[in-house]
């Protein structure tokens, strides 16, 4: 059974690989035998050290600065990966994403009616256009090779609307705060990108699936955590490591007959 999850000899691309989840995915994939190309818009030595420390596996990890909204940047990354590992990737995890953090300027988290057009365009560029372009470049190369697996990382807020009541405590403090629209819309777009490509590339041996994740604990405001926990059957946010198994499964032979699907791992958030 362990062979079903063995990734030895496989090359996987993880976009947004210097983020909280991207780091988890990359290190988990390496632990299963994969070699991983970590792509991030900033991939300088200081950023790598902050996330991966000094003892990362230099034989298995390749760090590349890459802008997922720029096709030429992705093509340069593909060329570098192919040169380093002598073959095109076997897998792609479209993990890079933007959201408006709680401490964003007021207009970012204000009412829908005044949400900035520029903010919409920026979020959609990374979260929707980015996976589209990455699939074109890396998925196209996989299709030519006749094998591959693509995972598009979505969110519960691509399946259901953000519950604005989770943020009522901020409005009670006198703040104007609403979870903005662009992140939810961009994550929703990934579901049909997945279905389209699963049908389009099925005959060429490339599988394409979506994972839908819930919130990850990152020292959020205690009032937010209390409200969020009350909505989740498991009563808590996810630990960053708890999504690794899904990524390994979808990259491995264990999921060889799975494509065009959506794997929901959310502690039961969307079950209610």
The tens digit of pLDDT for each residue in 192-211 reads: 999 999 999 999 999 999 99
Residue 220 pLDDT more than 70? yes
Give per-residue pLDDT as tens, 49-74.
Answer: 999 998 899 999 999 999 999 999 99
In this prediction, residue 105 carries a pLDDT of 83
Give per-residue pLDDT as tens, 68-98.
Answer: 999 999 999 999 999 999 999 999 999 999 9
CA 212 from chain center: how many Å?
9
User: Could you tell me if 231 and 225 are in contact, meaning their C-beta atoms sit under 8 angstroms apart?
Assistant: no
Domain ranges of the chain: 2-265
The mean pLDDT value of the chain amounts to 96
136 confidence band (pLDDT: 50, 70, 90)? very high
Backbone phi, psi, residue 211, to 5° = -115, 135
Backbone phi, psi, residue 39, to 5° = -105, 135
In this prediction, residue 1 carries a pLDDT of 62
In this prediction, residue 106 carries a pLDDT of 84
What percent of the chain is modeled with pLDDT above 70? 99
Give per-residue pLDDT as tens, 138-178.
Answer: 999 999 999 999 999 999 999 999 999 999 999 999 999 99
Class (C level, CATH) for 2-265: alpha beta
Residue 2 pLDDT more than 80? no
In this prediction, residue 213 carries a pLDDT of 98
Q: Where are the beta strands (DSSP E) in 52-96?
A: 61-65, 91-94
CA pair distance 92, 152, nearest whole angstrom = 8
SS3 label, residue 92 = strand
In this prediction, residue 96 carries a pLDDT of 98
Q: For the residues 12-29, what does the mean pLDDT come to?
A: 98
Please indicate whether residue 1 or residue 55 has the higher confidence score (pLDDT): 55
- H helices, E strands: number in the chain: 10, 7
């Amino acid at each position: 059974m362990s062979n079903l999850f063995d990734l030895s000899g496989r090359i996987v691309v993880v976009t947004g690989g210097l983020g909280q989840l991207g780091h988890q995915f990359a290190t988990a994939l390496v632990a299963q035998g994969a070699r991983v190309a970590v792509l991030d818009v900033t991939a300088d030595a200081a950023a790598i050290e902050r996330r991966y420390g000094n003892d990362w596996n230099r034989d298995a990890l390749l760090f590349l600065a890459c802008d997922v909204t720029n096709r030429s940047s992705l093509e340069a990354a593909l060329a570098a990966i192919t040169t380093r590992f002598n073959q095109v990737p076997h897998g792609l995890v479209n993990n890079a994403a933007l959201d408006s953090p709680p401490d964003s300027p007021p207009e970012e988290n204000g009412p829908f009616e005044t949400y900035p057009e520029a903010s919409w365009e920026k979020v959609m560029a990374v979260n929707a256009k980015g996976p589209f372009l990455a699939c074109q470049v890396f998925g196209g190369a996989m299709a030519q090779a006749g094998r591959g697996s693509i995972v598009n990382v979505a969110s519960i807020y691509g399946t259901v609307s953000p519950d604005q009541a989770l943020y009522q405590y901020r409005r009670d403090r006198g703040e104007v705060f609403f979870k903005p629209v662009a992140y939810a819309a961009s994550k929703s777009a990934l579901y049909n990108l997945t279905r389209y490509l699963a049908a389009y590339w099925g005959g060429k041996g490339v599988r394409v699936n979506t994972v839908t994740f819930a919130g990850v604990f990152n020292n959020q405001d205690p009032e937010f955590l209390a409200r969020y926990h009350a909505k989740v059957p498991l009563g808590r946010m996810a630990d960053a490591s708890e999504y690794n198994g899904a990524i390994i499964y979808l990259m491995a032979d264990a999921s060889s007959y799975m494509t065009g699907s959506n794997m929901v791992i959310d502690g039961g958030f969307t079950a209610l």
